[in-house]
Structures are given as structure tokens and as C-alpha cells.
Structure 1
Amino acid sequence: MSTVTTNVDSARQPQPARPVPKELVHKHHACQVLLKDWRRNADGTFSIPVDWHRATDSFAPLFGHISPALLVETVRQSFPLLAHVGHEVPLGHHLLWDEFRYTCTPSALRAVVQRAPQDVELHVTCTEAQYRGKRASFLAFDIDVLADGVPLAHAHSRFPVLAPAVYRRIRPDAGDGREVMARAVPLPPPLPHQPLGVAEFHDVALSPTDRPQEWLLRVDVHHPFYFDHPVDHAPGTLLLEAARQAAQELHPRLTVIPAGQQALFSRYVELDQPCTVTAEPAGEDDAGRPVAHVRMVQSGQECFRSSLTLADAQQR
């Protein structure tokens, strides 16, 4: 394996299509594609215009702010897009989230809801790339999110890229996504949705238990966003949202929005086994904002952990 660490990749750039084909962002329904186009800049970075008008049904504002789930999904769609068009990764290959983190400015997320910006864009830099031949086998990106030129958030992610045959070797028992979804654990009851800031009960990712600061992960395989297409595990976007909801549950008398989140994905969360979510306060950051640590454990093994820095959603 050869390793290249660079901000400029040398892969061939195909002519973009408008809108971005759904296959390039790993979606089945075109209405869920949030990216409009892409272009390679002279310095090797990419600029990706975003269409958030499509997102009104799936991503209602969170306590008057742009939903963190919308922010995360917008950034996530840039990963497969640039893997395919910028790094010669064939369709059908798997991107495995290893590490993901973002920071945002809550006041800017509130302003976006109030003013409906005309120009939302991602600026993406490849910070690390490893190749097997011409095809990338590992990628890392830095992503800046801007609205009408105003910075909203900065994100970073690292992920291996696996060919289908390799993926089948490491997950020999997973099988076809439809079959796995059919044997998912029965959907447990949700927490009340209003305190979590979500519009509908089907967006609740946690189920109560009789233990304090502990919940069951609630995986609705019929959810139109998280399960837009058959998959054999709980999507990473669902785990990130469940962590946010757990952090909110730690502060039932407040409404909080993540000013930052760091996450490590260590194992797949399987659909046919229950997954326990625990959260605990972890002090404050330098600005005095509370920090929460969230863990997800399945069959005695940690699958996911996240640290969230929380801002008061009522603060202007």
C-alpha cells in the first residue's frame, strides 16, 4: 500500500451532473440529495453548493437552530461524492466511519433559520489519502460549511474504503440489508419527543429503561431518512443523533444544542441485538459550557463513543 498525505489529489475529475446523482451520495431517493454540484478549485480543494430547501420535511429546526442532523448529513454526503469523483472509488464500495468531529457557531445556526440564506456551500480539503493502485483505500477530509459566506461549522472525518469482497469478509454474517432489517429487534417505545427538540415521535432515537442516564437505542428500520435504502447495521448518522438526544436528556430543564461533537466508531451496531446508550456529565469546557460523554454498548462491547459540548439554545 502506498501512502500519500496531501491537500491536492491527482485523480481525474469527470464533468459534474446537475443535480448530483443520488448514487454518488449513497441515497436511494433523489429528494434526499442535499448537494447540488461540485467543482475542483485550482488548489485541489473542492467547493460543493448545497440545497437545504429539500430538507424541510426531514430536518426541522432544533430549538430555532439549523438541526445538527442536517449539518451532519450535509457533510456526510460530501464523503462518498468526493471519494467517487475525486479519488477513483467505484460505486458499491463501502466507506467506514472511523472518526468524525465538528464544531459550530450556534448563533450562526439560529441566524440561518431566521434569514434563509441563498448560498450554502461546503469547502472540502483532502488532508490524507492512502491508495491501492489508483483507488483510494483511506481518506480524511476537512470541511467548512458556509452560508452566504458566513462560517457555520467546521468538520473533520477519517474513513477506510473497502471493496465489496473485503466488506463481506469482515462481516460474513451480515447478509443482505433487507434480510437483516427484517430480523431487527422489535421497536421499543420512544421517549417523549418534545423535550428532545424533534417534531415527531418516529425521530426519537432513544427508549427509556429503569436505570438513570441509560436508554436503549431505538432503531426504526422504516424511518425514511436513516433507512432510505437497505443497510445491514445502524447508520452512523443515527448514532450521532442518539448521542445528541442523550446529552439533552442529561439537562431536562434546559434546551441545549451541540456547539461541538467528537465521535469514534469502533464496531458496527447490529440491527438484531439491543444496544445500550449511557451518558454522563463530564465537566465544562473553557467557556463554561457543559460537556457530556455518551457510550453505546452492544453484547458487552463498546461500539461508539462521543463527547458533546453543549450550548444554551436560548442564548442569543
Structure 2
Amino acid sequence: MGDHDRETAPTPLPPAFRFPSLTTTVPKEFVHRAAVAEVMLTDWRRRDDTHFDVTAQWPRGHSFFGPIGRHHDPLLAAETIRQIGSLLAHAEFGVPFGHHFLMWDLEFAVEPRAIEVGETPAALEIDVTCTEVKRRGRALAGLRYAAVIRRDGQVAVTGSASYDCTSPAVYRRLRAGRGEETRPPLPLTAPVSPQSVGRTSPMDVVLSPTGEERRWQLRADRRHHVLFDHPVDHIPGMVLIEAARQAAVAVTGASGMLPLAITSAFTRYAEFDAPCLIEAAPLPGQGTGGTAVLVTGRQDGEPVFTSTVTASRPV
């Protein structure tokens, strides 16, 4: 038999590559986002029944939460804290997809030096403590949690939030009569000047003029790809927090204002079918060069939310 007829052993395949550390986002469904680009969280780990380690990344630029001066927009912190709550509910506390969340409050405070935009996206490590876990039988009924966000080992943000969650059947009863088929949404109103509220594009403005000083109508443009990332039947809490930020900018006249802290409480759903009036009033000075503004939202004569915005110009 000639050499050309000999069987030769196959060449061994190289060993599989080893990747010690790879980063991706958590599933977008866990944080109630339709766009992967809007997911801030990258991983999580349970330490015990009430303590969790979460990681996140803030982009150097964002289509809506863009840098303010040399700082990341602090409202990225609010969105990060919001996403933590839904992540833990689904991934660790067994809340099925399709259940609904009612946010009662959300607050955060930032350390300006720790949120400066660097040469790469900000990699964040988050210590989460669940302080109140409410159950209805075995099902999670509500959660309060606190978050300490660190960057390069330094505390960049502290914050907390609480919410209740309900089954689809309970939610339908709560929302009876508020669908578009029975109460159509208001026509979209005109924005105030973008520059007056710290924005450059009219599409990013969530306030409309009323002709009264320090009073606006909430503007909810459901075509906005970030604030309305997916269809909803009420105005999201992050839209209300953005309205508070824009009202504080309008009152102070500081378009480059850097929010240092925002404390928000939500008392009822903000609806699309009735005007939501936003009012802002400066509070006494903080003694540190900062400015505080109390922002309230009312609809049908009832309070919807309050926010206290403490801010400074970029430093």
C-alpha cells in the first residue's frame, strides 16, 4: 500500500479559549426595558436573603442622559436604582414577567467628584440591602431597598426606593376605566424653550407653558425613545423625576445645573388623559452653595408626586 493510502491521525484541536472576565448586560426583561441600549446593569450576585452585589456601567455619552459639564448626568443614578428593584424582583424574589410595579419613592445623592466622565465608561459596583420585604403568601408584594454605588472603590451614589407589585388581574381592577378606549390621551402640548430647562432639543422637554410663573403642564411625548422605551398605560416615574429636574432648572435659571440629590415620593398614577400641573418653589438655601427646589405635580386636583431637587452648578 502506498504512502498516500495511509490513514493519518487528525490534528488535535486547540484547547478552548479561556475568558476570565466578560461583561454583558442583564436581560432587558429583568429591568423593564425594550432596548438593550437602555440597560444599565451588567450582573448580580446574592450574598444572602437581603443583601446583593450588583454591577452596572454608565456610558460616556447617552442620547438623553448626556453629560452635564464634565459629569455624568445624575439621573443615570435614578434609572440605575430603579432597574435594581425590578431585577431583584424577577431574578431573586420570583416575581413573574407581566406583573406590575407601583413605585412609591425613589431618592439618590451623588458625590460630584466620583461621577466625572472618564476616558472609558464608568464601571460601578453596587451594594444592595433589602430593608423591607413584604409578601402575600409566597409571592412578593413589595420591597424597600437601599443602594450604595461605588466607582473605583469610592462611594459615588447613595440611594433607595420602594415599590409594590401586583398580579395582572389585580392591576386590571386598579386601572379599570383608564384605558385609551374609554379615556383617550390629551393632545401633545408645545414645549417650553429647551434652553430654559437645560435641554437642547424640543423633543426632550417634558414641560409646557401655562402662562403662569413657576407653573407648567406636564408634557408626555410617547414617541420619545428613552422616556417611553415601551408602551405603558400611565406616565412613568422617571418622566416625573425629569419634570422635577427641568422645573428646578427653570426656577433657578441655571441651565448647567448639576443635581446633587433628588428625593421623590409618588402618591398616585399620573394619567395621560388629564392635565398634570407641575409647580416649583425654591426652598431656603442649603448653606453650601447649593440650591433646593420643591416640585409638586397635581392632576384632577389631587397630588401625584413631590420631588425635592438639591443642585449645584457643575464644579
TM-score (norm 2): 0.86
The 3-state SS of whatever aligns with 2:79 is helix
Task: Specify whether residues 169 and 46 from structure 1 end up closer, same or farther in structure 2 by C-alpha distance, changes over 3 A only.
Answer: same
Report Cα offsets for 1:147-168 as digits up to 9, x if no partner: 2222111111111111111111
Q: CA deviation at 1:117?
A: 5.0
In the alignment, residue 289 of structure 1 is paired with which amino acid? G
- Cα contact 1:32–1:55 (8 A) shared by 2: no
2:64 to 43, 48, 58: 58
2:110 to 96, 99, 104: 104
- Cα contact 1:93–1:161 (8 A) shared by 2: yes
Task: Specify whether residues 169 and 284 from structure 1 end up closer, same or farther in structure 2 by C-alpha distance, changes over 3 A only.
Answer: same
The whole-number CA distance in structure 2 between the counterparts of 1:268 and 1:44 is 29
The 3-state SS of whatever aligns with 1:283 is coil
**2:31 pairs with 1:30:** no
Partner of 1:262: 263
The whole-number CA distance in structure 1 between the counterparts of 2:79 and 2:220 is 17
Alignment of 1:107-256 (within 5 A): 107-109=113-115, 111=116, 113-116=117-120, 119-175=123-179, 179=180, 183-253=184-254, 255-256=256-257
Partner of 1:4: none
Task: Specify whether residues 181 and 22 from structure 1 end up closer, same or farther in structure 2 by C-alpha distance, changes over 3 A only.
Answer: farther
| More off after superposition, 290-299 vs 52-61 | 52-61
The 3-state SS of whatever aligns with 1:72 is helix
The 3-state SS of whatever aligns with 1:306 is strand
Partner of 1:11: none
Q: CA deviation at 1:291?
A: 1.4
Partner of 2:81: 75
Q: CA deviation at 1:19?
A: 3.4
Q: CA deviation at 1:286?
A: 4.9
Task: Specify whether residues 59 and 118 from structure 1 end up closer, same or farther in structure 2 by C-alpha distance, changes over 3 A only.
Answer: closer
Partner of 2:47: 41
Q: CA deviation at 1:21?
A: 1.3
Uncovered stretches (5+) of structure 1, i.e. residues with no partner: 1-16
Report Cα offsets for 1:84-136 as digits up to 9, x if no partner: 11211111111111111111112322x2x144355222221111101112211
Task: Specify whether residues 173 and 181 from structure 1 end up closer, same or farther in structure 2 by C-alpha distance, changes over 3 A only.
Answer: closer
The 3-state SS of whatever aligns with 1:51 is strand
Uncovered stretches (5+) of structure 2, i.e. residues with no partner: 1-22
Task: Specify whether residues 308 and 54 from structure 1 end up closer, same or farther in structure 2 by C-alpha distance, changes over 3 A only.
Answer: closer
Aligned length: 293
In the alignment, residue 171 of structure 1 is paired with which amino acid? R
- Cα contact 1:267–1:302 (8 A) shared by 2: yes
- Cα contact 2:81–2:160 (8 A) shared by 1: no
Q: CA deviation at 1:259?
A: 1.3
Partner of 2:11: none
- Percentage of identical aligned residues: 37
In the alignment, residue 243 of structure 2 is paired with which amino acid? A
- Cα contact 1:89–1:135 (8 A) shared by 2: yes
The whole-number CA distance in structure 1 between the counterparts of 2:226 and 2:183 is 17
Task: Specify whether residues 138 and 237 from structure 1 end up closer, same or farther in structure 2 by C-alpha distance, changes over 3 A only.
Answer: same
Q: CA deviation at 1:288?
A: 4.8
Partner of 1:309: 310
The whole-number CA distance in structure 1 between the counterparts of 2:49 and 2:99 is 27
Moved over 6 A (4+): none
- Cα contact 1:181–1:231 (8 A) shared by 2: no
Q: CA deviation at 1:290?
A: 2.1
Task: Specify whether residues 181 and 58 from structure 1 end up closer, same or farther in structure 2 by C-alpha distance, changes over 3 A only.
Answer: farther
The whole-number CA distance in structure 2 between the counterparts of 1:180 and 1:245 is 31
Task: Specify whether residues 106 and 136 from structure 1 end up closer, same or farther in structure 2 by C-alpha distance, changes over 3 A only.
Answer: same
Which has the greater radius of gyration?
A: 2
Partner of 2:281: 280
TM-score (norm 1): 0.86
Partner of 2:97: 91
- Cα contact 2:53–2:126 (8 A) shared by 1: yes
